Structure 1
Amino acid sequence: MLWDFDGPICRLFAGHKAERVAADLVEWLALQGLHGLLTDTERETLDPQVVLRAVGRRHPGSDLVAALEERLTQEEERAAGSALPTAYADPLIRTWTAVGARLAVTTNNSPRAARTYLESRGLTGCFTPHLYGRTQALQHLKPHPHCLNRALSAMGAAPADALMIGDSASDLDAAREAGVPFLGYAGGEDKEKRLRAAGAGHVVRSLEPLLRLLRSGHAVR
């Protein structure tokens, strides 16, 4: 079971707002004399990963990218302290583990942030050591299947025998590229529409039906 992190497992920026993090990254770049590195749209984004990717495209592999990625990682670790669990995620993770499924996190967030959050919920043992996330090689972020392929290889799992749970089109594209079946998680109607428009054939608004199926003794695939 390959889980995206922010969305299916928790709301990472529930308390430590993503838009504030994005603004802080933009401000930090300005303090380095790099205000002009971003477009007006990128400077106004509410998504810190947009800022990071923009710099990564213009200065791939640079010390600047490394420094910016580390700043975002620290912000994500801070956010993990106030993240809110997705409804039914904790018991679903524990139940899947109890019935013998192997679980991995495959995320565009920092694996350090994922570990911080999972430790706070007592869930680390359900995933360790399989936490695969963002590195400074930003070209490997989803929709690239790199983190999914790393998880499959480490667990010795065939793609067709796995399942990816994600909440974005980039998760779906990465799963397709890796050959992994995909289940979309949509916390609301708009997100469900976006996933279905991207081609997701199976989308749930809640993880509760999966938990119910598992507890009734049925495999979820």
Structure 2
Amino acid sequence: MTSDTKQTELVAASPQRLRELTTHARVVLWDFDGPICRLFAGHPAQEVAAGLLDWLEGRGLHGLLPVGERQTEDPHEVLRDVDRRHPDSDLVTELEERLTQEELLAVRSAMPTAYADPLIRTLTAVGSRLAIVTNNSPKVVREYLGTRDLLACFGPHIYGRSEELQYLKPHPRNLNRALTAMGAAPPTALFIGDTPTDYEAAREAGVPFLGYARNERKVKQLKEAGATDIVGSLEPLLGAVRSGG
């Protein structure tokens, strides 16, 4: 069995619930890193975070972040932490650009999430409108989608990290931007995400949420955040869409 199959046996929204979610969803919003691909599969996120911290240290800013915050393996947390201390600064602008370049490098070895590509194409074929709402750079999302010939499925609807870092998820701003641009009411959408911040943003925006959890740690995090509809593989969701919702 594949790891996705094993995980599906561990946790899966019921087929009936998946049919309900897909039947009511005219717009499907996706997080990027996780549900669509593992961006840092070959360029580990912890190494990227360490590189950003080394860059700060090289600028004489080793003491900028408390010791606890310097232990993070999440490069987005490094960026958030620096922005909280120096909002709208040239330092944050430079750090964000360095992170974007690391993400672009990661695209080369990113691993597609099982069943994501056919699910995206099937949703498009049945008339669903798609958007991506992510804390990654939009440049990175477009680069990856281009390598998979999926860019046309999303069109202009890619809402990612900007210089206004206070609006990263869990803030619902980009979810709301996507809904407004697509003329969709929150109950007619579905957001597929894999983190507590995805769930929190969906809850704030009033959008139904489906959690994708590829391992037990992700399951635990999503459940503790309050998510109730969780799958360990996108395969049953693909089946629900193909069966007509």
What are the superposed Cα offsets for residues 165-201 of structure 1, whole Å, 9 maximum, x if unpaired? 0001100110011110100110012211221121112
Measure how far apart 1:44 and its partner are.
Answer: 2.3
2:53 is matched with 26
1:175 is matched with 202
Structure 1 segments (4+ residues) deviating >3 Å: none
Matching of residue 212 in structure 1 with residue 239 in structure 2: yes
Instruction: Determine helix, strand or coil for the equivalent of 2:132.
Output: strand
Matching of residue 74 in structure 1 with residue 116 in structure 2: no
1:6 is matched with 33
2:77 is matched with 50
Distance between the aligned counterparts of 2:116 and 2:80, measured in 1? 29
Tell me, which stretches of 5 or more residues in structure 1 are unaligned? none
Q: Tell me which of the two structures has the higher relative contact order, counting C-alpha pairs closer than 8 angstroms and 6 or more residues apart.
A: 2
Tell me, which stretches of 5 or more residues in structure 2 are unaligned? 1-27
Aligned positions of 1:55-134 closer than 5 A = 55-134=82-161
Instruction: Determine helix, strand or coil for the equivalent of 2:129.
Output: coil
Instruction: Determine helix, strand or coil for the equivalent of 2:244.
Output: coil
What are the superposed Cα offsets for residues 103-123 of structure 1, whole Å, 9 maximum, x if unpaired? 000001111111111000000
Structure 1 window deviating more from structure 2 (192-201 vs 82-91): it is 192-201
Distance between the aligned counterparts of 1:178 and 1:36, measured in 2? 37
2:224 is matched with 197
Instruction: Determine helix, strand or coil for the equivalent of 1:184.
Output: strand
What amino acid sits opposite 2:203 in the alignment? R
* Number of matched pairs: 218
What are the superposed Cα offsets for residues 98-155 of structure 1, whole Å, 9 maximum, x if unpaired? 0000100000111111111100000000112001011111100100001101111111
Instruction: Determine helix, strand or coil for the equivalent of 1:2.
Output: strand
What are the superposed Cα offsets for residues 85-104 of structure 1, whole Å, 9 maximum, x if unpaired? 00000000000000000100
Distance between the aligned counterparts of 1:49 and 1:35, measured in 2? 18
Instruction: Determine helix, strand or coil for the equivalent of 1:144.
Output: coil
Measure how far apart 1:31 and its partner are.
Answer: 1.4
